[in-house]
């Protein structure tokens, strides 16, 4: 059986047999559909999304509909038949990728800083609840495969850094397989475009049911926030905003597992930055990637140097 169905009719039939009758359903991207429900609402709306998962993820997804509200995710239901699907409601508000560039404007930030620090506190609480509810013992920060891939990439990217910095990066990545941290089911990409705010409620979308180190969520959230700030010419210093600190405060408040130390978080961030820097070495095809290819590499290197200096 193919990973995704050949037609939307297959998904419509599968959902209908579980009590979700769509008037219409259209494909948004690979494995994700959006449609209008007949005689049923989720999150107060007849509009709903359907996300297809590998059948191997069924056990990981089975308890998520009960956890979802506490983790900031919209109301959702699991359907498991020919394909494993998560049917979920839509969220209110706008993504942080649209809100933060405005909020960071110097004239606005002083009036909005407490509100958005509370937003990141709430994000930390939500992710902390997800990790606590799905924790699965200790494991390496990076899988052996991810570690080897990053070390290979560093061999080709070492000219971007001084010899001492390149050696320190390599040493940190080499320690990743022996350094233990909490493992749980994680959201996956926590970039600003996957987190919404409507002025009152913080919502998170695109749950990935990824069973791996909790650093996956921490690093992707911090990585996305810092990269956005680096791209904005009017952001003077990342540290002055206090959003990362608010996130960690919220996580510590709700999580029943330990907060990772700074070196462990640094490894997760280095993995993400090296992956992106390597991506820019190849040909890129989307307009957005073509634009950021000229802007991002110096900023990525600056951030990597900063991370290494902080943990040295």
- Of 52-56, 66-70, 122-126, 223-227, the poorest mean pLDDT is in 52-56
The percentage of the chain sitting over the pLDDT mark of 90, rounded to a whole number, equals: 86
User: In terms of Cα–Cα distance, which of 150, 145, 216 is closest to 183?
Assistant: 216
Render pLDDT for 177-210 as a digit per residue (tens, 0 to 9): 899 999 999 999 999 999 999 999 999 999 999 9
What pLDDT is stored for residue 55 in this prediction?
Answer: 87
Tell me what the pLDDT averaged over the chain comes to.
94
CATH for the 8-89 domain, from 3.30.43, 3.90.1150, 3.30.200, 3.30.450 = 3.30.200
Task: List phi, psi (to 5°) of 278.
Answer: -65, -40
Contact 232, 281 (CB under 8 A): no
What are the distances in angstroms from CA 148 to CA 97, 242, 262, 263, 291? 32, 34, 22, 19, 29
What mean pLDDT do residues 214-239 have?
Answer: 93
What mean pLDDT do residues 137-156 have?
Answer: 96
What pLDDT is stored for residue 1 in this prediction?
Answer: 56
Per-domain residue ranges of the chain: 8-89, 94-311
Contact 266, 172 (CB under 8 A): yes
pLDDT > 90? residue 225: yes
Q: How far apart are CA 127 and CA 247, in angstroms?
A: 9
- Of 64-68, 72-76, 281-285, the poorest mean pLDDT is in 281-285
What pLDDT is stored for residue 237 in this prediction?
Answer: 83
For residue 176, the SS3 value is coil
pTM: 0.95
Q: Please give the radius of gyration of the chain, using alpha carbons only, rounded to the nearest integer.
A: 20
Q: Which residues contact 176 (CB under 8 A, 6 or more apart)?
A: 140, 141, 142, 146, 147, 267, 271
- Of 132-141, 262-271, 287-296, the poorest mean pLDDT is in 287-296
Task: List phi, psi (to 5°) of 210.
Answer: -90, 120
pLDDT > 80? residue 112: yes
Render pLDDT for 2-21 as a digit per residue (tens, 0 to 9): 677 778 999 999 999 999 99
Q: How far apart are the first and last CA of the chain?
A: 50
Task: List phi, psi (to 5°) of 47.
Answer: -80, 140
CATH 3.40.50.12640 is held by the domain 94-311: no
Render pLDDT for 246-260 as a digit per residue (tens, 0 to 9): 999 999 999 999 999
């Amino acid at each position: 059986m193919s990973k995704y169905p050949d037609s939307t009719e297959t998904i419509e039939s599968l959902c209908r047999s579980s009590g979700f009758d769509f008037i219409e359903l259209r494909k948004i991207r690979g494995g994700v559909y959006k449609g209008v429900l007949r005689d049923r609402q989720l999150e107060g709306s007849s509009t709903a999304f359907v996300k297809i998962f590998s059948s191997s993820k069924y056990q990981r997804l089975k308890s998520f509909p009960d956890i979802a509200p506490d983790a900031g995710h919209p109301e959702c239901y699991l359907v498991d038949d020919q394909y494993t699907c998560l049917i979920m409601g839509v969220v209110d508000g706008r993504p942080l990728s649209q809100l933060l560039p405005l909020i960071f404007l110097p004239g606005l930030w002083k009036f909005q800083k407490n509100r958005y620090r509370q937003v990141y506190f709430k994000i930390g609480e939500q992710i902390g609840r997800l990790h606590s509810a799905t924790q699965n013992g200790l494991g390496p920060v990076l899988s052996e495969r991810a570690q080897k891939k990053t070390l290979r990439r560093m061999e080709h990217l070492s000219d971007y850094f001084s010899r001492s910095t390149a050696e320190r990066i390599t040493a940190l990545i080499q320690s990743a397989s022996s350094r233990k941290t909490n493992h749980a089911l994680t959201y996956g990409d926590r970039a600003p475009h996957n987190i919404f705010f409507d002025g009152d409620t913080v919502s998170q979308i695109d749950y990935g049911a990824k069973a791996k180190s909790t650093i996956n969520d921490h690093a992707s959230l911090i990585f996305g926030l810092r990269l956005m700030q680096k791209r904005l010419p009017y952001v003077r210093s990342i540290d002055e905003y206090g959003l990362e600190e608010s996130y960690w405060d919220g996580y510590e408040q709700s999580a029943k597992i330990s907060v990772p130390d700074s070196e462990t978080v640094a490894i997760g961030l280095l993995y993400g930055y090296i992956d992106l820097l390597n991506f820019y070495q190849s040909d890129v095809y989307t307009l957005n990637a073509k634009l950021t290819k000229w802007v991002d590499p110096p900023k990525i290197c600056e951030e990597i140097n900063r991370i290494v200096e902080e943990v040295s």
